[in-house]
Amino acid sequence: MSDEYENKSGYQAQSSETIHAQSSEAITGGGSGITPDMDYVRPAELPEQDLYHPHSFIEKWVFCQDAKVIGVQYFLTAVFTGVVGLILSWLMRLQLGFPGLAGFITAEHYYQFVTMHGMIMVVYFLTALFLGGFGNYLIPLMVGARDMVFPYVNMLSFWMFFVAVVVLMASFFVPGGPTGAGWTLYPPQTILEGTPGHGWGILLMLISLSLFVIGFTMGGLNYMITILQARTRGMTLMRMPLTVWGIFTATVLAMLAFPALLVSSIMMTLDKLLGTSFFMPTILKAGEVLEYGGGSPILFQHLFWFFGHPEVYIVALPAFGIVSDLISVHARKNIFGYRMMVWAIVGIGALSFFVWAHHMYVSGMNPWFGFFFASTTLIIAVPTAMKVYNWILTLWRGNIRINTVMLWCLGFIVTFVNGGITGIFLGNVSVDVPLSDTYFVVAHFHMVMGIAPLMVIMGAIYHWFPLVAGKMLDEKLGKWHFWITFLGAYSIYFPMHYLGFIGVPRRYYEMYDSPYMTSGVGLNEFISTAAFIVGAAQLFLVFNIIKTMKTGKKAEQNPWKANSLEWYTSTVPPEHGNFGDRLPVVHRWPYDYNVPGAEQDYLPQTAAPSEVAHTEVEKT
Amino acid sequence: MSDPKIEGFELEKGFKGMAQDTGSDQTMFKGVHWGKAMMWIFLLSDTFVFSCFLIAYMKGRASTPEEWPNPSEVFALDAFGVPVPLLLIALMTFVLITSSGTMALAVKYGYERNRKMCGYLILATALGGLTFVGMQAYEWSKLIHEGVRPWENPFGAAQFGSFFFMITGFHGTHVSIGVIFLFIYCYKVFAGHYDEGKRGWFTKMKGDYVEVEILGLYWHFVDLVWVFIFAFFYLW
């Protein structure tokens, strides 16, 4: 069946030259003198991609098949949901810090805010932003492809996500309001009377999640296959930027974890609509037995967390990847232990499927299971710590530019280490049980999967904005933005650890006169004030973007002097097709900074070995 | 699937070759059309969906306090006045597996550019799928007549009906979507779209017989899943 390709025009177009059986690796590196074979790269295996160029405004900006436009669409939609999530968190902090000040926030509203804030931030904001936004924009550019392999389905993916967001937002306006069951949606209370939004709210939430999964699957297939099957010549897997590795592994996790979410959503929808009892045990309500009976609520928890834990890494791994690239570029130094970094990403991804029940220590389980899941959880700390050491070793003796991007990266390392260490506390069953329902957990997961990835997102925005918009963001405003956000975020979450230790329970609308509150009141006011300031500080970015678009300095090509392919497009910002007439040919990894003997302090991935024969470039 | 020929380049045998493939540039699966790779990954994801369903079923069946209905009684069919256990389901399975065979042949004839045979075999596959869905509809209506509902049934645990309708329904939806696409592809084969490389209606991509193979992968997967559903629902 090898004739599959041979009928396609353009295939093997470049293979007419004489080819020698030599891998490109064997001859990279300096010292051996210039030979014609030195720049050899295996001939093209793939035909030129057959791109469909848009013919109208709608095809160009609305139902667009260009991954870069889709990336921006994903980004903007996700940011919109993120703003909604931010406002909800403000309302919650208003209630917690100053109870009774805003009279319109009832207990029911508070639960709805908690639920919607959690779900929006985790799924619709962070996941969509990293994979849909950065994934779509960066994958084809970084691996040297003209577009995703199946642009039409990629377009559908965004619009499915868009519909999912519309359905989710619609739940704010239906009778009963959005669901208030907590973002984990644990049955049986989720769909029973007494929980806010137990009618329309939960239904729309489940439908929206199902649509999200379907839409994501369409996009995720594109990300995976573009990385696996459509790289440019010379771009081996071990020459890909770590950003691509992070997004790739996260996509694999998503493709295997979202099915559990889809299944649990379908089953709960049936429980709600048809009165099945998948998750519903026999329930007594006001002395009467409900229609439900015989189901297992624990089953839902297993399905949910089989999705939910990999979900943490779906958010974290792209952040790990992106931050590695940013640190390397702005410290002008190759990433320390590239292969180790790749295997750590893959290892964390694989392990993340064996730890889900650490979210369920308090649900009750056989002690041996707790033992097992505590062990796997703590093992994940090993590859994660490796990554942190490697980031620090990359910085060590680097030629560090203390610009906005670097500040966000350093902020990430600090918050991530902080959140990671509290994770070691919570991974142990006996420590987790007393801390489980307290603010300690809130502090932990906001540090590790809220603030830390957010720092990376901000750094990535400042880093790639010149590529997307062709203008440089203002550094001064950027630094104000960073310092207020960083110090403010610490002011919010650091005291929460203490609140957790004194036993303040999470998800409570008000503490009333409980003994916790003697030392908690002032702290809560402080946290809330910080939260308002940090949220408002994000306006620095909005203002910065507006100002830059109006009066900003035009970005030169490759302003950061980076090596990876996205900076070597034919135009800035890149147009449809990315690379002009000829796709780039890759000869090295993207981390050749400050190579001894080289004229500049960076060697682009496209620099051929003969150009750098006099340098001491390492074999990559 | 063979490697596209690259002069002087020999893939080493076994694990070394695999590592060499994986580590090389451009593609990881040498000579594999991207669409085929994409379908494989999708099927992997879909496998997880069905696994979650079936594991949930096992857990639900194990933990419900009421007795589970006896499948050989519930699914029996009266043939000439004698209740034969699993008769209908045996027929359904036979039809579906046969349609997998015709699909495989359609792929073969497609690559041989034998338009007619390819088209007829896809049509046969589609009709097989349609028969399967029809028989499933008959089975559902029979059970509904006997009082089986998603929320209750006269034979025992309520979860029996819940899981049965949900999982066979989800699988039946897969078969139905497959049947729709089979009819579309059947038309496209007969109209010669794959020979001319005519562009798709929506995707605007050039047609190629590899699409028949991709749909074939999906169809075989749906059959394979049915074997597991069959085993877990009707034989357990």
Which residues between 533 and 592 in chain A have a beta carbon less than 8 angstroms from any beta carbon of chain B? 586
Taking the C-alpha atoms of residue A281 and residue A290, their distance in angstroms, rounded to an integer, is 9
Residues of chain B with C-beta less than 8 angstroms from the C-beta of A24: 25
Q: Which residue of A has its CA nearest to B151?
A: A276
| For residue A573, cis peptide bond before it (omega within 30 degrees of 0) | yes
Taking the C-alpha atoms of residue A254 and residue A70, their distance in angstroms, rounded to an integer, is 19
Cβ pair B158:A294 closer than 8 A? yes
Residues of chain B with C-beta less than 8 angstroms from the C-beta of A294: 64-66, 157-159
Token pair listed for A580: 């002009």
Residue A602, helix vs strand vs coil: strand
Helix axes A67-97, A151-170, angle to 10 degrees: 20
DSSP output for B77-106: EEETTEEETTHHHHHHHHHHHHHHHHHHHH
More confident site: A217 or A26:
A217
Which candidate, B223, B229, B197, B221, places its Cα nearest to that of B211? B197
Model confidence at A219, pLDDT cuts 50, 70, 90, reads very high
Cα–Cα distances (Å) from A416 to A244, A310, B235, in that order, read 20, 17, 51
Q: Identify the pLDDT of residue A521.
A: 83
Taking the C-alpha atoms of residue A432 and residue A409, their distance in angstroms, rounded to an integer, is 30
Residues of chain A with C-beta less than 8 angstroms from the C-beta of B68: none
Shortest distance, CA B101 to any CA of chain A (angstroms): 19
Taking the C-alpha atoms of residue A416 and residue A450, their distance in angstroms, rounded to an integer, is 10
Which residues between 60 and 89 in chain B have a beta carbon less than 8 angstroms from any beta carbon of chain A? 60, 63-66
Residues of chain A with C-beta less than 8 angstroms from the C-beta of B38: 149-150, 221-222, 224-225
Among A6, A23, A37, A45, the strongest candidate for a mutation testing the B interface, having the largest count of B CBs within 10 A, is A45
Whole-number average pLDDT of chain A = 90
Which residues between 267 and 286 in chain A have a beta carbon less than 8 angstroms from any beta carbon of chain B? 267, 270, 274-278
Whether pLDDT at A371 is above 50: yes
Which residues between 230 and 259 in chain A have a beta carbon less than 8 angstroms from any beta carbon of chain B? 230-239, 255-256, 258-259
B59 in reach of chain A (CB within 8 A): yes
Give mean pLDDT, residues A411-434: 94
Cβ pair B10:A21 closer than 8 A? yes
**HEC per residue, A439-450:** HHHHHHHHHHHH
**Partner residue facing A256 (CB), from B26, B45, B157:** B45
Q: What is the pLDDT along chain B (236 residues), one digit of tens a residue?
A: 334 455 555 667 888 888 877 888 888 888 889 999 999 999 999 999 999 999 999 999 998 888 999 888 888 877 777 878 888 889 999 999 999 999 999 999 999 999 999 999 999 999 999 999 999 999 999 999 998 999 988 888 999 999 999 999 999 999 999 999 999 999 999 999 998 888 888 888 888 899 999 999 999 999 999 999 999 988 88
Among A65, A209, A269, A276, the strongest candidate for a mutation testing the B interface, having the largest count of B CBs within 10 A, is A276
Cβ pair B37:A228 closer than 8 A? yes
Contacts of A16-19 with CB under 8 Å at 24 or more apart are A17/A43, A18/B7, A19/A43, A19/B6, A19/B7, A19/B8, A19/B9
Distance of CA A466 to the CA centre of its chain: 21
B49 in reach of chain A (CB within 8 A): yes
Taking the C-alpha atoms of residue A259 and residue A263, their distance in angstroms, rounded to an integer, is 6
Residues of chain B with C-beta less than 8 angstroms from the C-beta of A12: 4
Taking the C-alpha atoms of residue A593 and residue A617, their distance in angstroms, rounded to an integer, is 10
For residue B111, which phi and psi values (nearest 5 degrees)? -65, -25
Give mean pLDDT, residues A189-202: 92
How buried is A286 (Cβ within 10 angstroms: 0-12 exposed, 13-18 middle, 19+ buried)? Answer: exposed
Shortest distance, CA A20 to any CA of chain B (angstroms): 6
Distance of CA A317 to the CA centre of its chain: 7
Residues of chain B with C-beta less than 8 angstroms from the C-beta of A356: none
**Partner residue facing B22 (CB), from A1, A5, A237:** A237
Shortest distance, CA A121 to any CA of chain B (angstroms): 24
Q: Identify the pLDDT of residue A619.
A: 66
Q: Identify the pLDDT of residue A36.
A: 57
Are A282 and A337 in contact, with CB atoms under 8 Å apart?
no
Q: What percent of chain A has pLDDT over 70?
A: 94
**Partner residue facing A19 (CB), from B8, B23, B60:** B8
| Per-residue pLDDT tens digits for A250-261 | 999 999 999 999
Neighbours of B73 (CB within 10 A): 10
**HEC per residue, A581-612:** CCCCCCCCCCCCECCCCCCCCECCCCCCHHHH
Four-point Cα dihedral A478, A483, A485, A486, nearest 10: 130
Residues of chain A with C-beta less than 8 angstroms from the C-beta of B53: 263
Residue spans of the domains in chain A: they are 402-555
Model confidence at A165, pLDDT cuts 50, 70, 90, reads very high
Token pair listed for B116: 């007619």
**Partner residue facing A259 (CB), from B45, B157, B166:** B45
| Per-residue pLDDT tens digits for A102-156 | 888 999 999 999 999 999 999 999 999 999 999 999 999 999 999 999 999 999 9
Tell me the one-letter amino acid at A146.
R
Taking the C-alpha atoms of residue A144 and residue A227, their distance in angstroms, rounded to an integer, is 10
Are B115 and B190 in contact, with CB atoms under 8 Å apart?
yes
Q: Identify the pLDDT of residue B9.
A: 57
A14 in reach of chain B (CB within 8 A): no
Tell me the one-letter amino acid at A370.
G
Q: Identify the pLDDT of residue B19.
A: 82
How buried is A289 (Cβ within 10 angstroms: 0-12 exposed, 13-18 middle, 19+ buried)? Answer: exposed
Model confidence at A8, pLDDT cuts 50, 70, 90, reads very low
How buried is A121 (Cβ within 10 angstroms: 0-12 exposed, 13-18 middle, 19+ buried)? Answer: buried
Residue A414, helix vs strand vs coil: helix
Cβ pair B25:A262 closer than 8 A? no
A518 in reach of chain B (CB within 8 A): no
Distance of CA B9 to the CA centre of its chain: 37
Using DSSP bridges, classify how beta strands A284-285 and A288-289 pair: parallel, antiparallel or unpaired: antiparallel
Residues of chain B with C-beta less than 8 angstroms from the C-beta of A11: 4
Shortest distance, CA A467 to any CA of chain B (angstroms): 25
Whether pLDDT at A483 is above 90: yes
B114 in reach of chain A (CB within 8 A): no
Give mean pLDDT, residues A402-430: 95
A425 in reach of chain B (CB within 8 A): no
A299 in reach of chain B (CB within 8 A): yes
Which candidate, A358, A280, A186, A283, places its Cα nearest to that of B60? A280
| Per-residue pLDDT tens digits for A45-89 | 888 888 888 888 888 889 999 999 999 999 999 999 999 999 999
Q: Identify the pLDDT of residue B1.
A: 36
Q: Identify the pLDDT of residue A19.
A: 38
Cβ pair A225:B25 closer than 8 A? no
pTM for this entry:
0.92
Are A19 and B4 in contact, with CB atoms under 8 Å apart?
no
Residues of chain A with C-beta less than 8 angstroms from the C-beta of B177: none
Give the residue carrying structure tokens 């990554």. Answer: A387
Among A41, A59, A263, the strongest candidate for a mutation testing the B interface, having the largest count of B CBs within 10 A, is A263
| Per-residue pLDDT tens digits for A517-571 | 677 888 999 999 999 999 999 999 999 999 999 998 898 889 999 999 999 998 8
Token pair listed for B185: 């592809």
Shortest distance, CA B193 to any CA of chain A (angstroms): 15
Among B10, B26, B149, the strongest candidate for a mutation testing the A interface, having the largest count of A CBs within 10 A, is B26
Residues of chain B with C-beta less than 8 angstroms from the C-beta of A259: 45-46, 48-49, 51-52
* Percent of chain A as helix, strand, coil, to the nearest 5: 65, 0, 35
Taking the C-alpha atoms of residue A535 and residue A337, their distance in angstroms, rounded to an integer, is 36
Query: Residue A2 contacts by C-beta under 8 Å, 6 or more apart in sequence?
Result: B1, B2, B3, B4, B5, B31
Lowest mean pLDDT among A32-36, A428-432, A492-496, B118-122: A32-36
Residues of chain B with C-beta less than 8 angstroms from the C-beta of A235: 25-26
Model confidence at A35, pLDDT cuts 50, 70, 90, reads low
Instruction: Compute the Cα dihedral for A535, A536, A542, A547 and give only its sign.
Output: negative
Taking the C-alpha atoms of residue A309 and residue A312, their distance in angstroms, rounded to an integer, is 5
Token pair listed for A259: 């099915």
**Partner residue facing A149 (CB), from B4, B34, B56:** B34
Token pair listed for A150: 């199946």
Token pair listed for A426: 């919570």
Tell me the one-letter amino acid at A40.
Y
Q: Which residue of B has its CA nearest to A64?
A: B203
Q: Identify the pLDDT of residue A365.
A: 82
Residues of chain B with C-beta less than 8 angstroms from the C-beta of A52: 204-205
Q: Residue A272 belongs to what H/E stretch?
A: helix A242-273
Among B2, B9, B52, B211, the strongest candidate for a mutation testing the A interface, having the largest count of A CBs within 10 A, is B52
DSSP output for B94-163: HHHHHHHHHHHHHHHHHHTT-HHHHHHHHHHHHHHHHHHHHHHHHHHHHHHHTT--SS--TTS-HHHHHH
User: Which domains can be identified in chain B, with CATH numbers?
Assistant: 1-32 (no CATH), 34-235 (1.20.120.80)
Eight-class DSSP state of B216:
H
Model confidence at A42, pLDDT cuts 50, 70, 90, reads confident
